[in-house]
Amino acid sequence: MLIRGADSLACPPFCNSADKGYTLNLVVYLMGLKIIHILAVAVYFGSTFFMDLLLLPALNRIPPAQAAIVSQQVGETFAVLAWVSLGIIIVSGVLRLYVTGTLTPELFLHPYGWWIGALMFLALLLAINGLIMTIWIRPRMKVVLSTRATEADLKVKQTEAMAAVTTLNRLVRLNLIIAGLALIIGASLSFGGLF
């Protein structure tokens, strides 16, 4: 069974798949990918929103020792959640383009493709930002001292950890801005693009 007009699920205006039609199985597959993609975006943006605008300000209102414990526990869970949802966003987005036959060099010759390129660039920025937070910043936040450590060693480690927390807070804010921009662009593409 062919479904005419089903190209609106993921096919830009210049796509010629409307002439071919889609089978019912392909329509269901594309809808499933779209739902998974939207849910992953909601999880990523929602968790980033929670971290930046709700959790981090609350941590500034409690004693530093408790804030460090809460931050460490929530941060580990957030990192896993963010990486899994970002991976799902990228894979489902690319699959949607591939399945519809849109993922060709011709895609980037049209305004729709330019916005897709912008989304790919923003996803790359989110991945780089995530790598910086995961590999470089989060390990610096842990204060581990040997049994022979002096009070001066403790102060140095605490200063380094506090600087890492400040940097992490800025990167989380940057993540929220990038993810928000990607959300606006992605949502607008569902309605024909920004311009």
Residue 15 lies in a domain: no
Residue 46 lies in a domain: yes
For 139, residues 6+ apart whose C-beta sits below 8 A from its C-beta are none
Residue 162 lies in a domain: yes
Residues facing residue 2 across a β-bridge:
23
Rounded-to-integer distance, Cα 13 and Cα 18, Å: 10
Residue 85 lies in a domain: yes
Instruction: Give the burial string for 32-46 (b: 16+ CB within 10 Å, else e).
Output: ebbebbeebbebbbe
Residue 78 lies in a domain: yes
The residue whose two tokens read 């569902």 is 190
Q: Can you give the residue range of the structural domain that contains 48?
A: 37-189
Residue 6 lies in a domain: no
Tokens of 37: 């993609």
Q: How many domains does the chain have?
A: 1
If we measure between CA atoms, which residue out of 177, 138, 192, 146 comes closest to residue 11? Answer: 192
- Whole-model pTM: value is 0.80
Residue 12 lies in a domain: no
pLDDT in tens, 82-137: 999 999 999 999 999 999 888 898 999 988 899 999 999 999 999 999 999 999 88
Residues facing residue 23 across a β-bridge:
2
Helices (H), 132-150: 138-141
Residue 160 lies in a domain: yes
Report which of residues 16 and 56 the model is more confident about: 56
pLDDT in tens, 43-90: 999 999 999 999 988 888 888 778 777 888 888 899 999 999 999 999
